[in-house]
Amino acid sequence: MFTHVVMFKLKDKADCAETVAQLRSLGGNVPSLRQIEVGQDVLQSGRSYDIVLITRFDDLAGMQAYQVHPHHVKVVEHMHRVAETAVAVDFES
């Protein structure tokens, strides 16, 4: 299993609901995507990010196919517009 985790800080928290919806739309639309979880931060501490995306694939090749899939590319365009910063961790388990 290959896991891809991304945390986002948004430029404007008013964009959270739409952004969560955009990220959740990846489920069922990208064949190599096996599992998806999207969460919005509730504590809003000084070190918090606004949204987390956790995606799982059979292997690295599945994640690479996801990266170039047209639906993912469309969501990435949205993320570039609304995200101030993002950090990621990718790992095999």
- CA dist 57 and 80 (Å) reads 23
pLDDT at 9: 98
Domain spanning 2-92 has what CATH number? 3.30.70.100
Domain assignments of the chain as residue spans, ordered by start? 2-92
CB 91 within 8 A of CB 3: yes
pLDDT at 69: 98
> Residue 13 region, left (φ>0) first, then alpha (ψ -120 to 50), else beta?
alpha
CB 51 within 8 A of CB 8: yes
pLDDT at 21: 98
> Residues 22-59: pLDDT tens digits?
999 999 999 999 999 999 999 999 999 999 999 999 99
pLDDT at 74: 98
Q: What is the pTM of this model?
A: 0.95
> Residues 49-78: pLDDT tens digits?
999 999 999 999 999 999 999 999 999 999
Single-letter amino acid code for the residue at 5: V
**Beta-strand relationship, 83-92 and 2-10:** antiparallel
pLDDT at 48: 96
pLDDT at 88: 98
Tell me if residue 32 falls in helix, strand or coil: coil
